[in-house]
Amino acid sequence: YDMSLKFSEAIFGADKEFELSHLETCDACNGTGAKIGSKMRVCSTCGGRGQVMRTEETPFGLFSQ
Protein backbone atom coordinates (compact mmCIF):
# COMPACT_ATOMS: atom_id res chain seq x y z
CA TYR A 1 0.00 0.00 0.00
CA ASP A 2 1.18 3.54 -0.77
CA MET A 3 0.45 6.50 1.47
CA SER A 4 1.37 10.11 0.71
CA LEU A 5 2.42 12.50 3.47
CA LYS A 6 2.98 16.21 3.37
CA PHE A 7 6.36 17.35 4.68
CA SER A 8 4.72 18.92 7.75
CA GLU A 9 2.86 15.65 8.47
CA ALA A 10 6.12 13.72 8.36
CA ILE A 11 7.79 16.18 10.75
CA PHE A 12 4.94 16.90 13.18
CA GLY A 13 2.87 13.73 12.79
CA ALA A 14 -0.64 13.20 11.52
CA ASP A 15 -3.64 10.92 11.92
CA LYS A 16 -4.40 8.88 8.81
CA GLU A 17 -7.03 6.21 8.15
CA PHE A 18 -6.72 3.40 5.67
CA GLU A 19 -8.25 -0.03 5.15
CA LEU A 20 -6.22 -3.19 5.02
CA SER A 21 -7.97 -6.16 3.40
CA HIS A 22 -7.14 -9.53 4.84
CA LEU A 23 -9.45 -12.53 5.17
CA GLU A 24 -9.14 -15.16 7.88
CA THR A 25 -10.83 -18.54 8.06
CA CYS A 26 -13.48 -18.71 10.78
CA ASP A 27 -12.21 -20.85 13.70
CA ALA A 28 -15.74 -21.94 14.68
CA CYS A 29 -16.68 -23.48 11.30
CA ASN A 30 -13.32 -23.82 9.51
CA GLY A 31 -14.69 -21.94 6.50
CA THR A 32 -17.64 -24.26 5.82
CA GLY A 33 -20.38 -21.98 7.18
CA ALA A 34 -21.57 -24.64 9.66
CA LYS A 35 -20.29 -25.50 13.12
CA ILE A 36 -17.80 -28.37 13.15
CA GLY A 37 -19.43 -31.74 13.88
CA SER A 38 -22.99 -30.47 13.45
CA LYS A 39 -25.70 -30.74 10.86
CA MET A 40 -25.67 -27.91 8.35
CA ARG A 41 -26.74 -24.84 10.34
CA VAL A 42 -25.64 -21.26 10.00
CA CYS A 43 -22.57 -20.52 12.10
CA SER A 44 -23.32 -17.91 14.79
CA THR A 45 -19.73 -16.62 14.71
CA CYS A 46 -19.47 -15.71 11.02
CA GLY A 47 -23.13 -15.84 9.89
CA GLY A 48 -22.41 -18.51 7.29
CA ARG A 49 -19.81 -16.45 5.41
CA GLY A 50 -16.93 -18.70 6.49
CA GLN A 51 -14.81 -15.67 7.36
CA VAL A 52 -14.73 -13.19 10.23
CA MET A 53 -14.01 -9.46 10.16
CA ARG A 54 -11.87 -8.17 13.00
CA THR A 55 -11.15 -4.51 13.76
CA GLU A 56 -8.25 -3.44 15.95
CA GLU A 57 -7.22 0.04 17.08
CA THR A 58 -3.47 0.69 17.15
CA PRO A 59 -1.33 3.81 17.52
CA PHE A 60 -1.08 3.79 13.70
CA GLY A 61 -4.84 3.80 13.15
CA LEU A 62 -7.83 1.47 12.97
CA PHE A 63 -7.19 -1.84 11.21
CA SER A 64 -9.96 -4.12 9.94
CA GLN A 65 -9.15 -7.55 8.64
Separation between Cα atoms, residue 1 and residue 24, nearest integer Å: 19
Which of 3-12, 17-26, 31-40, 50-59 has the least mean pLDDT?
A: 31-40
Which pLDDT does position 22 carry in this prediction?
Answer: 75
Q: Where are the domains of the chain?
A: 25-53
Residue 61, pLDDT > 70, answer yes
Residue 28, pLDDT > 80, answer yes
E-state strands within 1-65: 24-25, 51-52, 55-58, 61-64
Which pLDDT does position 7 carry in this prediction?
Answer: 94
